[in-house]
Amino acid sequence: MTLPETLILVLYFFVLSILAIYGWHRYYLVYLYMKHRDRAPKPAPEIREWPPVTIQLPIYNEMYVADRLIDAVCEMDYPRDLLEIQVLDDSTDETREIAELAVRRHAARGFDIAYLHRVDRRGYKAGALEAGLKASRGRFIAIFDADFVPPKDFLRRTLPHFFTSDRIGMVQARWGHINYDYSLLTRIQSILLDAHFVLEHGARHRGGCFFNFNGTAGVWRREAIDTAGGWQHDTLTEDLDLSYRAQLLGWKFVFLSDLVSPAEVPVEMNSFKSQQHRWAKGSIQTCVKLLPRILRSKQPLRVKAEAFFHLSANFNYLLMSLLSVLMFPAMWVRYNMGWTEMLVIDVPLFAAATLSVCNFYVVCQRELYPDWRSRLKYLPFLMSIGIGLCVNNSRAVLEAIFGKETEFARTPKYGIERESDEWVGKKYHQSVGVQPLIELGLGLYFTGTVFYALANQIYGTLPFLMLFQIGFLYTGLLSIFQQFTGEDQMAPEVAK
């Protein structure tokens, strides 16, 4: 075997082994969640004297959903004299007039609601929250992004938890999905988000590990924000950054899985990619910024280990991209040398990674929905789309590693609530660039690899190869197709 062939196999199995380790970590999260089921937070006793609360609504060019958000917040069941609402608007389009008119309308009804507009957008969302905080009067700060429709009892169900201990710094609700049934893409995103909240947040919270505020649908104790250093904008995930800084100082967080705040998930592939890019880049920026401090802290080893896996998880997209390139050469080398028995090694490694994903999402859906079995048909597409995102998110990780600064690109929302709602022809569509062509090229590359495996009867690799093939073709083609037609017609039968 030549040196290049040896290097290909060594690198291939090294990458696969690291991915398998992170796959086994998903099993650990499920174990942690199940082990500490008895630690799920119970409803806190209602408090006698409600505190003053400030609700912050950071928006930027959200003309289709700004009204819906402001109306929903003003319908909350909370003493009006104790409620302050801040519309933190950095918009540069018609959203300014829409939001300002909504503010005047509700102010005329007696609400303490203010419209705060910035023109420089310094610090993006973190800067807007920071500016609003300076002008606020609330002891507790609730935050909602533009695509959310919080329930009326949100404050009455979250605030009592702060009075169970003076060290509770933040209470996070679970995200719901207004437009789950809109398309295959929205269904996949909803399942992804369900698992993030139910199993990741649930396991970390119940197991006494760090977890994060998600930027919206949560309430902060103002003192926790101030003592942790306030909102900082040197990362794209100001929420994750502040969460870890606060918990390192001893503030405790609470996750309420049974309190759901509905939101609109992206209906367009390019918007979804933009959101994933921001989250991936911001998490790596936070990892670089805070992980050394976390590892040097006096936190228990299990807390440090979980923080390491949490903050470093997006590095896996680089490994996934490298694995995508290596899969055919590694298969070719082994087949030509007669080493097909090495499938005994890499098929189990692949299974460790992929079956852990299946288990993770199956458990989550079973925890949440009576009809969970009907949702299992989406799991292969979920895994494929996760693979298809690796080019997009690898770019995000590399930008974070090399310190490339980019603006906070907010995710476009179109006010989509029903299957009949239309987003074609609306503003805020995002350009596809060259990236979908790379994804399409990888899809064709794996199509050729599938045919090679079929021709040489290497059938054990086919399920894994097809996950890659479908993932890259779907993300690449849908990005291009929606850019020019605005429709999601791919895999229409599965979406039903």
Active site residues: 90, 239
Contact 131, 118 (CB under 8 A): yes
Residue 248 to residues 64, 168, 211, 226, 245: CA-CA distances in angstroms? 39, 13, 11, 14, 5
Q: What are phi and psi of 220, to 5 degrees?
A: -110, 145
In 3D space, the residue among 50, 67, 28 whose CA is nearest the CA of residue 153 turns out to be 50
Q: Please choose, from the candidates 69, 75, 43, 40, the residue with its C-alpha nearest in 3D space to the C-alpha of residue 56.
A: 69
Beta bridge mates, 53: 83, 140
The tokens describing 235, both together, are 């990362």
Q: Hunting for tokens 């509905």 — which residue is that?
A: 262
Per-residue burial over 465-484, b if 16 or more Cβ lie within 10 Å, else e, is bbbbbbbbbbbbbbbbbbbe
Comparing C-alpha atoms, which of 301, 316, 297, 471 is closest to residue 381? 471
Helix (H) or strand (E) holding 179: none
The length of the chain is 496
Angle between helices 66-73 and 95-107 (to 10 degrees): 20
Residue 269 CA to residue 186 CA, distance in Å, equals 10
Secondary structure element (H or E) that encloses residue 353, with its range: helix 343-368
Distance CA 112, CA 119 (A): 23
Rounded Cα distance, 123 and 3, in Å: 50
Beta bridge partners of 87: 57, 115
Closest CA to 458 of 309, 340, 292, 324: 340
Residue 383 DSSP SS3: helix
CA distance 271 to 138: 34
Residue 96 tokens read as: 């300014």
